């Protein structure tokens, strides 16, 4: 269990190997890819959730997900990955494989009539204090992927001095066309972006999405409004 604890908590630091691929054929284009690999001969990428598709596109291991440990998004990612892995729709590296094969992380069971997540390791007191501190003092003004919408960011309300979580981003499946000048202009005009100056509102961050493209894994060098 100590091995599993370290896998879940630590970000992999070993560079990917270049002499073999993690789908077993030793000859495909995924040589050296230590992240999640989709078997597109079986299914198309469209069936993946946005969060799992992000790992496939960025060639990232599941253990490098940025969701809060134990959150619903964290558990959903592992549950989805396990379902696809067992059907050989995705291939993963050895560390991810160990978690998917030897644990039930992401699955739920009943304990005394209450639905509880399985194999969700309890943190030590010191780790709990650290997690609590991060919850009370999260990094401000740095948008991240996930949450109830596509993205979220923590900001401090200038009036109340309280920290607020702001969720933003379309959840209907539409993609952000931040590299399309015409689409940017239309969005900025439609949402009156030049007058959106309240950082505690989702509209402020939606209007400035291109500025945080790198943080959010989006491809863009544009830094203004949409």
- What is the pLDDT, as a whole number, of residue 66? 82
Distance (Å, rounded) from C-alpha 209 to C-alpha 226? 7
- What is the pLDDT, as a whole number, of residue 43? 85
Buried b (16+ CB within 10 A) or exposed e, 205-226: bbbbbbbbbeebebebeeeebb
What does the mean pLDDT of the chain come to? Answer: 78
pLDDT in tens, 152-207: 999 999 889 888 999 988 766 556 677 788 888 888 899 899 899 999 999 999 88
Residue with the larger pLDDT of the pair 183 and 221? 183
- What is the pLDDT, as a whole number, of residue 56? 92
- Long-range CB contact pairs, 218-224, < 8 A, 24+: 218/176, 218/178, 219/179, 220/178, 220/179, 222/178, 222/179, 222/184, 224/184
Task: Count each helix (H run) and each strand (E run) in the chain, helices first.
Answer: 7, 7
pLDDT in tens, 70-120: 889 999 999 999 999 999 999 999 889 988 998 888 998 887 788 888 887
Residue with the larger pLDDT of the pair 146 and 11? 146
At 161, list the tokens.
Answer: 């001095």
- What is the pLDDT, as a whole number, of residue 196? 92
CB-side neighbour CA atoms (13 Å) of 223 = 0
Sort residue 190 into left (φ over 0), alpha (ψ -120 to 50) or beta. Answer: alpha
Distance (Å, rounded) from C-alpha 118 to C-alpha 95? 19
Sequence-ordered alpha helix ranges (H) in 42-170? 50-58, 72-86, 94-102, 125-136
pTM for the complete prediction?
0.46
Whose tokens are 């991810």? That residue is 96
Distance (Å, rounded) from C-alpha 153 to C-alpha 214? 14
Whether the predicted pLDDT of 29 surpasses 90: no
- What is the pLDDT, as a whole number, of residue 171? 64
- What is the pLDDT, as a whole number, of residue 223? 57
Distance (Å, rounded) from C-alpha 73 to C-alpha 65? 10
Residue 138 makes CB contacts below 8 A (sequence gap 6+) with: 154, 163
């Amino acid at each position: 269990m100590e091995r599993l604890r370290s896998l879940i908590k630590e970000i992999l630091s070993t560079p990917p190997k270049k002499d073999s691929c993690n789908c077993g054929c030793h000859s495909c284009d995924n040589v050296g890819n230590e992240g999640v690999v989709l078997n597109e001969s079986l299914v198309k990428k469209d069936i993946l959730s946005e969060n799992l598709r992000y790992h496939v596109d960025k060639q990232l291991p599941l253990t490098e997900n940025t969701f809060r440990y134990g959150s619903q998004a964290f558990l959903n990612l592992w549950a989805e990955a396990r379902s696809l892995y067992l059907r050989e729709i995705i291939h993963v590296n050895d560390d991810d494989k160990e978690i998917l094969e030897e644990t039930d992380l992401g699955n739920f069971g009943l304990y005394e009539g209450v639905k509880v997540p399985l194999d969700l390791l309890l943190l030590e007191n010191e780790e709990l204090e650290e997690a609590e501190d991060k919850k009370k003092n999260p990094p401000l003004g740095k948008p991240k992927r996930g949450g109830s919408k596509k993205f979220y960011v923590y900001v401090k309300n200038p009036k109340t001095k309280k920290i607020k979580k702001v969720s933003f981003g379309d959840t209907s499946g539409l993609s952000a066309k931040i590299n399309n000048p015409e689409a940017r202009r239309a969005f900025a005009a439609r949402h009156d972006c030049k007058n959106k100056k309240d950082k505690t509102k989702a509209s402020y961050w939606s209007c400035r999405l291109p500025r945080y493209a790198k943080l959010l894994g989006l491809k863009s060098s544009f830094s203004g409004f949409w």
